[in-house]
Amino acid sequence: MFLPQELIRRKRDGESLGDDAIRFLVDGINNGQLVDSQVAALAMAIYFQDMNVVECAALTCAMRDSGQIINWTDFDLPGPIVDKHSTGGVGDLVSLVLGPIVAACGGYVPMVSGRGLGHTGGTLDKLESIVGYNAYPQQSQFQQVVRDVGIAIVGASGDIAPADQRLYAIRDVTATVDSIPLICASILSKKLAAGINSLVMDIKVGSGAFMTTPERSVQLAERIVAVANQAGCRTSALLTDMNQSLASSCGNALEVMEAMDYLTGNYRHVRLHEVVVALAQMMLMNAQLVDSAEQARKKIADVLATGAAAECFNRMVAALGGPKDLLAQGKSHFAQAPVIAPLLAENCGYISAIDTQQIGMGVVALGGGRIRPGQLIDHRVGLSRWHQIGDLIQANEPIVMIHAADQSSWQKAARRIRHAIQFSEQPVAVPPAVYQTISLEGE
């Protein structure tokens, strides 16, 4: 028989906790036997004393087991169940195109996604800019869409890892959100509850990233890869750049429209494409759908060229309540913001740096994001036609198009964006889109 206060003391003093002790604590978080003060004390003890890989895997699995685990046995999927998770960013529409690509290549992608909070956009908010899209279907419908189409992007139900929901709420008000073992357990418990066989992590680095330094991003990537594999899910990670918007658009409907352009071949942002191909290649290799990186790249190119990936996206949207002719009718399904105008450069120069977090907060200020859970958002607003770091901008040339609900919002966003961009008289180095691959040693 364990005593919560004794286990909290042991972790406070830097001792490792065994599987049974960790499961006892998670059960107590889930069933209310641990009061809020004890959960907060435990989170703070883990924050300062860390957890080793075995402990973190035990925490992850206990949190996964605190709720429903999706079982795919009855659906007899003829391919591997795969997924991707990003630590979030600005203009990060990767999931909208990556999932359909991998599904068209033979993977099955039950992608459980989240909403935006703070400066980062949420995949569900983007998809809900599509009229009729149901981000919270019944589980049977969710699984059937994955079986029939190859992919479904939905929100997590309250039955998935409920212990994490309570723990995260307490972390949020006790300054323990950025604990690496708690981040790992929070992300992976929900992903593993979806019944996946393999996972690829997209860990962002830069001014718009969740982790504040490159070193912390590497630590998080290495820990997630180690813990997920310890828990039985084949996992690798990419470190990708978030020193600027990943796509040329930021904002919910704008990003969906850019994703549609990407899938149909109308327009593919170079940096976005590089990240998408790198992640898709890793997903196909982890899932053993290909024998080599070269074969993976060929399959990716084929499903884009033939329209198979676009068809997967279209079928997913239709199956989850959206228009059946979304790609055929294109942007006519989306309402435009009332005020759309360019922000002009005041002087000639090279874009040398962008405070990407401030750009994301600019979208929030326009009404395209939320500063508190449950806040309504305006899907129409955002930014488009972004220039990139290294681009030479002439005086009075557009830096970006601002889509706003009114002139006042446009002016406020313009001021924020001007302060977030630095210029140089000399050419500057362009940061790479992909920095590093992290996998288990020996792979």
What is the architecture, at CATH level 2, of domain 73-329? Answer: 3-Layer(aba) Sandwich (3.40)
Buried b (16+ CB within 10 A) or exposed e, 337-357: bebeeebebeeebbbbbbbbb
| Residues with catalytic roles | 83-86, 123, 171, 186, 190-191
What's the pTM value of the predicted model, to 2 decimals? Answer: 0.95
CA distance linking residue 200 with residue 28, whole number of Å:
31
Burial of 121 (C-beta count, 10 Å sphere; 0-12/13-18/19+) = buried
Token pair 């020193």: residue: 243
Residue 85's φ and ψ, nearest 5 degrees, are -135, 140
Alpha carbon separation from 141 to 82, 157, 211, 326 (Å, rounded): 18, 13, 35, 20
CATH topology of domain 336-424: Aldehyde Oxidoreductase; domain 3 (3.90.1170)
pLDDT of residue 158: 84
CA distance linking residue 351 with residue 172, whole number of Å:
35
Q: What homologous superfamily does CATH list for 4-64?
A: Transferase, Pyrimidine Nucleoside Phosphorylase; Chain C (1.20.970.10)
Name the DSSP class of 269. Answer: -
> Using an 8 Å Cβ cutoff, are 28 and 34 in contact?
yes
Spell out the residues 6+ positions from residue 44 whose beta carbon is closer than 8 angstroms to its own.
174, 176
pLDDT of residue 443: 52
Buried b (16+ CB within 10 A) or exposed e, 286-298: bbebbeeeeebbe
CA distance linking residue 69 with residue 73, whole number of Å:
12
CA distance linking residue 1 with residue 9, whole number of Å:
16
Strand duo 198-205 + 82-86: pairing: parallel
Name the DSSP class of 71. Answer: -
> Using an 8 Å Cβ cutoff, are 241 and 205 in contact?
yes
Q: pLDDT tens, position by position, for the chain (443 residues)?
A: 899 999 999 999 999 999 999 999 999 999 999 999 999 999 999 999 999 999 999 999 999 999 999 999 999 999 999 999 998 889 999 999 999 999 999 999 999 987 766 677 789 999 999 999 999 999 999 999 999 999 999 998 889 999 999 999 999 889 998 899 999 999 999 999 999 999 999 999 999 888 878 899 999 999 999 999 999 999 999 999 999 999 999 999 999 999 999 999 999 999 999 999 999 999 999 999 999 999 999 999 999 999 999 999 999 999 999 999 999 887 888 999 999 999 999 999 999 999 999 999 999 999 998 877 777 899 999 999 999 999 999 999 999 999 999 999 999 999 999 999 999 999 999 999 999 999 976 45
| 267: amino acid identity, one letter | Y
pLDDT of residue 172: 85
pLDDT of residue 372: 73
**Would you kindly state where each structural domain of the chain is located, as residue ranges?**
4-64, 73-329, 336-424
